[in-house]
Amino acid sequence: MNKQRAQEIADSPVMANVTYQGIPIYIQHVDHDKETARIYPLNESEHEQEVPIHSLLEH
């Protein structure tokens, strides 16, 4: 995924089908300088992590 698309998904009120390592996730924030995204699994909102944007996959 690229930075622009990750930001569009993060800003959108519509839930997108995005996964990280095969796990459905929610994108909270995109850091354009570091090219990372703060995410959490849809079923575990307390498990936030920062991952490279390129590792996210939109279905």
Tell me the C-alpha distance between 31 and 58, whole Å: 18
Q: What percent of the chain has pLDDT over 90?
A: 98
Q: How confident is the model at residue 42 (pLDDT cuts 50, 70, 90)?
A: very high
pLDDT of residue 24: 98
For the segment 27-48, the average pLDDT, to the nearest whole number, is: 96
pLDDT of residue 39: 98
**Residue 29, strand partner residues:** 38
For the segment 20-48, the average pLDDT, to the nearest whole number, is: 97
- Residues 6 or more apart in contact with residue 57 via CB below 8 angstroms: 1, 18, 19, 20
| pTM score of the predicted model | 0.91
Residue 55 DSSP symbol: G
